[in-house]
Structures are given as C-alpha cells and as structure tokens.
Structure 1
Amino acid sequence: HITEKSKTAELFERIAFGLGGSGMRNNNLTELIGGLLFRGVDPDAVLQLCRLTNQNSPQPLEESEFNKTYTSMLKKEMRRRNDTGKT
C-alpha cells in the first residue's frame, strides 16, 4: 500500500483512469497537459496521451472542447518556455 504519490504517479493514474466526471474534466485535462509539458514530454505525445485519457473517461469531453483546451495549454507552455529562455 502506497501512502504518498509523486506528481508523476498522479499523471500516470489520470491517463489510466480518465478525466473524471463532468465539472472536473477541463481542469483535470489542463493539469495533465501542463504536467506532461512541464516534464518535457513531446507535444505530439502529450496530445496522444491526453486523447487516450479522454477516451478512458466516463464522460469524455467533446472533440471541440478537448482541442480548445489542448491548444490553449500548448500556447501557454510555449510562452512560458520563451519567457525563461528555453526552446
């Protein structure tokens, strides 16, 4: 029995178990995208992992909402990287 989980473990579990029910999905997707990008995961891999996560959700987000959230977070991360001198 594990009592303390790392943020990375939480990300893996989110992928496996989905985004949760309505009211939590957008926030959980945003956290997942940000967490993966922050850890240096390739944006294309992030997209695929997030699609898998959405499919694993009891009530997946509609494609348009999913794409809007992903695009917004990707732009935000690219701005953050440019502000800190990363490429």
Structure 2
Amino acid sequence: MTMMEMWTVIGFVAQGLFFGRFFIQWIASERKGESTVPVAFWFFSVLGGSMLLLYALHQRDPVFIFGQAGGLVIYLRNLMLIYKKTPLTAETK
C-alpha cells in the first residue's frame, strides 16, 4: 500500500467514525422515544474528529484543519462537563 493509499484509508475510516456518531445518536433517540445525545456520540466525535484533523494536517488544508480543531475543543469540553456532573457513572449507551 502506498502512502497516498494509506492516507486515503485513514480519511475514510475517520469519516466513517465521524458519521457513526449520528447513527449512534439516532439509535439512542429511537430507543428513548425522544431526541437525546448519548456519551458515545462525544467519544465518536473526538475519535473521528482527531483522525480527520490528522488527515487535514496531512492534506495541508487550513479550512479543514481549523474546522476540526475547533470541533475537538467542543467535543472534549462536553465530555468534561458530563464526567464532572456524574464521575464514573456517565451513561455510555
């Protein structure tokens, strides 16, 4: 596998994780019968966003870099707020 192919795979995996967060949110909302954002949404946001940031840095795309870096701050802050409120007992479904 060439380096270019490897980065393309990384980009697709990252985008899949990032999309997966919406799928998780949708399933959780359907189960609960109302709109909800489960903790797993934020973990997928951090993981997918981090991988997309690496991909954007590799591509040297300042718009993409700025968007992902800003998003990561928000995702991490949400996790901090969740675990500050209920340490070690936050729902992860």
Instruction: State the TM-score bracket (shorter-chain normalisation).
Output: 0.3 to 0.5
**Larger fraction in helix:** 2
Give the TM-score of the pair, scaled to structure 2: 0.37
Give the TM-score of the pair, scaled to structure 1: 0.39
Structure number with higher relative contact order (C-alpha < 8 Å, ≥ 6 residues apart): 1
Find the structure with the greater CA-based Rg.
Answer: 2
